[in-house]
Amino acid sequence: MRRREFTAGLLLAAATRPSRAQQRATQPRIAIFHPAIPVALLTETGGGSAWRAFFGELRRLGYVEGQNLIVERYSAEGHHERYADLAREIVSRNPDLIVTGTNPVVIAFRAATSAIPVVAFMLDPLKAGLVASLARPGGNLTGITLDAGIEIWGKRLELLREAVPSTAKAAFLGMRDGWEGSFGQALRDIGSQLGISLISMLPNMGTTSEIERVFATMAQQRPDAVLVSGEGDLYAHRQLIVELAEKNRLPTMCPYRDYVEAGGLMAYTVDLAELLRRMANDVHQILKGAKPGDIPIYQPTKFELLINLKTAKTLGLILPAALLTRADEMVD
């Protein structure tokens, strides 16, 4: 694949660039690769609260891009077929460290390098066979897991049913890798226990056109609500997802705060910004000499319920008082 086909952003430390050996002596160089978010948004001022928190924490730890840190940015913009080529491209540039996420992307980097440290956000990396253990992942990989087990998804379904008691059929909006296998079956079993039939709505790619296609199909299936998965491909299009859900008058249970702030109905969620700050700390430890395989992978244990009251009103929902009382925060 030609380089021009890649979406890549590179911020240089100065107009006249010293040799790589001189750079490494003075400024660490990290590569950031996201499966879907455009490179222009992977900054301290864009990309949602999570990436703002990541760069803010790096700054707090003493790393300021353009002063003592070089950042190279890459995105597949939702095209999964580009993962392997982009991983090889990034590895060929030999950065000091790679920051990335989602299991398929991590697999691509594992195939490309066993030497360059990788800090990643993942879904159940132990079950996926990406690490030896959460406490001591081993190899060149560490980071965070966004997954707290199937129980969290059961709780999301319960809360969705409580908010919309008439829910008999819900659409699961997620990437295929997250639905097929044991997870999808376990989620269907939980739905069955709650009297909710789950139908899968799976984009083939994390692109705008694919998400629009899936919602067009969803309109024909006529579900009562939507359960949104937590993949980065979808997070990059959260604004579009909540707009299409509202257009089709579909209540949404979302995986992160940013969806609710964008107009999603509700979320039962981890603090994604706090998790990305932990990733920034992993970066700091590795740049100071720690081995990534010795840094524990962090798994969240705290969750919060967020409800968008404006969206509830738009959808004509009267939410139960007991549910509103349990909410950690209500967005208006």
> Are 178 and 78 in the same domain?
no
Going by DSSP bridges, is the β-strand pair 7-10/197-201 parallel, antiparallel, or unpaired? unpaired
- Cα separation, 140 vs 111, whole angstroms: 12
CA atoms within 13 A on the CB side of 256: 25
Alpha helical stretches, state H, the chain: 20-26, 48-60, 83-92, 103-112, 150-163, 176-179, 182-193, 208-221, 232-235, 238-247, 257-262, 272-287, 309-314, 321-326
Contact (CB, 8 A) for 180 and 152: no
> Are 62 and 154 in the same domain?
no
Say whether pLDDT at 14 is over 70. no
Residue 178: what pLDDT?
64
Closest by CA to 81, choosing from 219, 233, 306, 288, is 233
Q: Whole domain around residue 216: which residue ranges?
A: 150-269+303-331
Say whether pLDDT at 12 is over 70. no
Q: Give a three-class secondary structure readout of 152-220.
A: HHHHHHHHHHHHCCCCCEEEEECCHHHHCCHHHHHHHHHHHHCCCEEEEECCCCCCHHHHHHHHHHHHH
Confidence category of residue 163, pLDDT binned at 50, 70, 90: very high
CATH number (domain holding residue 13) = 3.40.50.2300
DSSP state of 65: B
- Cα separation, 73 vs 180, whole angstroms: 31
Contact (CB, 8 A) for 315 and 263: no
> Are 30 and 85 in the same domain?
yes
Say whether pLDDT at 7 is over 70. no
CA–CA–CA angle 104, 105, 111 (5° rounding): 95
Q: Enter the tokens of residue 193.
A: 């226990």
Q: What's the whole-number mean pLDDT along residues 242-258?
A: 95
**Taking all residues of the chain, what is their mean pLDDT, rounded to a whole number?**
89
> Are 169 and 69 in the same domain?
no
> Are 105 and 42 in the same domain?
yes
> Are 34 and 106 in the same domain?
yes
Residue 280: what pLDDT?
98
> Are 85 and 184 in the same domain?
no
> Are 220 and 202 in the same domain?
yes
Q: How many structural domains comprise the chain?
A: 2
The 8 Å CB, 24+ separation contacts for 323-332 are 323/159, 323/162, 323/163, 328/304, 329/304, 329/305, 330/306, 331/260, 331/261, 331/306, 331/307, 332/308
> Are 259 and 309 in the same domain?
yes
Backbone angles phi, psi at 229, to 5 degrees: -80, 175
Contacts of 279 (CB under 8 A, 6+ apart): 54, 99, 119, 121, 143, 144
Sign of the dihedral defined by the CA atoms of residues 12, 87, 211, 225, in that order: negative
Q: What's the whole-number mean pLDDT along residues 133-152?
A: 89
What are residue 173's DSSP bridge partners?
201, 228
Q: Enter the tokens of residue 241.
A: 């997802």
Residue 239: what pLDDT?
95
Residue 213: what pLDDT?
96
> Are 140 and 109 in the same domain?
yes
> Are 46 and 121 in the same domain?
yes
Q: What is the pLDDT of residues 52-88, one digit of tens each?
A: 999 999 999 999 999 999 999 999 999 999 999 999 9
pLDDT above 70 covers what percent of the chain? 90
Going by DSSP bridges, is the β-strand pair 97-101/70-75 parallel, antiparallel, or unpaired? unpaired
Contact (CB, 8 A) for 172 and 241: no
Residue 29: what pLDDT?
97
> Are 218 and 111 in the same domain?
no
Residue 150: what pLDDT?
75
Q: Enter the tokens of residue 108.
A: 């691509």
Contact (CB, 8 A) for 304 and 271: yes
Residue 10: what pLDDT?
38
